[in-house]
Structure 1
Amino acid sequence: MTVVVAVPIVAATLFGSLRVHSLFDESRTYSRAAESASILPALATYGTGVTGAAAATILSLPVDNGAQAAAEAEVQLTAFLDTKDLDGQTTVLVERVLAEGRSLLDSARSGTLAPLVASERAEAFVTRVQTVFRSLVDDTGAPAVRTSGATLSDMWGTQWSLLDQVVAYPSLRDGTEGALLMWSNALGTEAAKLSVLREEISSDPGADDALVDTLSAELDNRRAVTADLDSAAGDVNALRTSIFTSLMAYQSGVADSATRIVAVLDDLAGEARTEAVKNAIGVACVLALALTLAVLIAASLVRPLRRLRNDTLDAAEVVLPQALAAIKDGAEIESVSLPPVRVRTREEIGEVARAIDSMNEGALRLAGEQAQLRRQVNEMLETLARRNKTLVEQQLALIDSLEHEERDPARLQSLFALDHLAARMRRTGDSLLVLAGTRPRLGRIPDAPLVDVLRAAVSQVENYQRVQIGPAPDGSLAGHAVTDVVHLVAELLDNSLRASPPESPVAFVFSRAIDGGLLLEIVDRGIGIPPEELAQINKRLASGDANTSDATRRMGLFVVGRLAERHGITVRLRPTSDATTDPGITTSVYLPTTLLRGTDDHDDPYRTERPRRLPGEYSGPKRPGPRSLVPAVSPKPRAGLPS
């Protein structure tokens, strides 16, 4: 229910958050653009001052007014560059405008500029300032700002078409035909640009249409004065006055456009911010409504679902495992029951609860059937094993009597071989009893010396001649564990002998653990076991569980695990060496102090001050097999068996 409700809520939240974030980001963009565009008035003032000083130079007038205006504007621009975070390209352009303006002002103050040179440098400076205008306006991306920016750029370009008139003005006094033509061309250029400017202003809602009319009127006035220059009423000074009147009108229009651009950007930023707040409030209201409806709808479902979940988990993790364990331990199926799930509704959740109850009952019934089948199989194994052992015991008694009566060495050797084979058959019967979960029916057995225990284990394996016992440590083994330890060691020896070359020996290595226990290691140089398989074998040896698919293939190892678990013995396998071929396996058998009798470790030559490698499972890298603490004994052929 949570997922079903959460998906549309998360989707709505995501899209709403993206919309709100986009609006806030748009607001920040417009705010940064307005902050950057706030340089436009100062830049326009600076450009006008520098260009006006150049125009004054052409007209042989003082440049102080233009230079002073440019100096004041330069202070503002420098402070702006130091405090505002402008785009890198825009910063470079503004710094270049300032550098060119200073150079042009210095030349204008020196009075060394020729009119044409001053005109060219002034026009280049005007173009540079116009480039900065476009760069600042184009970065905003708002259509209204682009329109006002186009008006500003065109008005700035049209304004400085007056430079051509300023250049031609001094020549009008001479009254030459060339001067008059230059002046007329300059007037025509301004007229053409004014027509374009009129179209731009008409598409700009915030622009003043009357400004173009004023500029056109002044242009017509200059044309009229120019036409009367040949008459006595002609006044050349009136042309200069008209030029400066138009220049003031242009400057007013440029300043108005720059201010309007900043205002438009501020308005756009405010609108985007307001829209973002409205969207955020709307998204929050929708989410609150959706969450409220979800809670109301889920309230009728969550309670039974939670009860169903809790009861199901309790049954799966606690109650059902306990019931299955009780059945496995022998409890009757009728005496084991599971509490039903506490959901009594008749809709789908209640049907699921009844289905879970049916599944639990089926699991209990199946567990009971399996436990009954397991008991029957164990009883069959026990019966067959005991019958087999009875026959083997009779066979051993008969062979023993024949051995006492036989005097022929050849036949006596054959009887010894039969005796050995029967002993191994008896061990197989004991293994079946172990897997069936029962113990051999033995009376009280006295404590046995450790060396006798090892010899008894050796006598139950094939190729016993390859086993090197060496001097065993003093002490005895507790009587109740003698039979099982003999069986355990025999199974391990049998594995080592079968997995190693026929000519290689299998040796015992002894060492005393720090806590007083005895560590017995069986070392061979066989084919070894892959690391992954070795880890699984050690895990199964530790658990002692024979109910796996590998129980039939490795019955001896599972018997060892059961016997070790019965007496608290730890058995682990590890590689004997790091060789890639025939690394061998070293089997470590740790006998705890509870199974040892008569061992005093104060002067024990086998005691070693090393940390116990057991009972923790070996998971480290391969290491070489231990060096024997006793001299190796070369195997010698023997006619008989160990006593």
Structure 2
Amino acid sequence: MRPLDRLSSIKVKLGVVIVATVAGTVVVLAIGFRLGLGLEARTAVAALIALAIVQFLARGMTSPLREMAAAASAMARGDYGRRVTASSRDEVGELARAFNAMAAELADVDRMRRDLVANVSHELRTPIGALQALLENLVDGVEPVDPTALRTALVQTERLGRLVAQLLDLSRLESGALALRPAPFPVRPMLEQATRECELGERYMSQPVWLRVDVQPGDLRATGDSERLHQVISNLLENAVRHSPTDGRIWLSAHAATDGVTTIEVADEGPGIPPEEAERVFERFHRTDSARAARDGGTGLGLAIARWIVDAHGGTIAVRPREPHGCRVVVELPR
């Protein structure tokens, strides 16, 4: 029971406790005097009554602090599920609510840390295991040292390199250490360069698709860090190629919207992304069922990095359905 929770100031609560204690003491002394009790007896009874009043009224003022101390000790041991009762409306109540919010954020951070360690371990284990098995076969003479075996080793090594590079990029983006260098730049050359690089990639070589670039107007310019935005487009194209059928079509387009926004869109003819997954695909290491089923499911970091870069530019990135089937990823940048 917290009788003073309705009061919105700790000062008012302290005043109420003091007044109630003094009033109780005076009443006890007066009653004791009328009953003919001695001064020492009246003083002892008044002190006990005063302590009882303080204990009753001040309980709700100090109990959140005790709960916070216990919860902080539990959090130091790794238990982030403890919460503090925050029914008071005063400063202590505000502190309790802030403490609960902090505990929830720490719990989310700890969960993300555990997921990151588990996901990175899983992603590293696959190429390392394949590379180790191949090298053991080469050393033991089970397989001959030929260009095919060496190319397989190179592919796995490149996959490890991409994963490490993406993890470093994501770490720099989240910490704010990756500074952007915004400047006006022409959009078409950047999109065409990303397309040429995509056509030279191993995934495109094994599963060629039709790539088309359309920019309206042709001399469209945008403002931003062209190198980082090129990274965004490359990630989107890589995803589109990965999930497109052989000889499928991918459209890379850009246009100037009437509200001062430059829109860049990558559309493919793949299986698409379910509406319930449209937001989660931008989480680190999250992949849809179709992505997991792909031969090279990627690392699950490309879209997370793309969102960080677009957000840092003050823009938005979203997944949209494409009729009759496929996926559209729309990037909007303020001009």
TM-score (norm 2): 0.48
> 1 or 2 for the larger relative contact order (CA 8 Å, sep ≥6)?
2
TM-score (norm 1): 0.28
**Structure with bigger gyration radius:** 1
- Structure with the bigger percentage of helix: 1
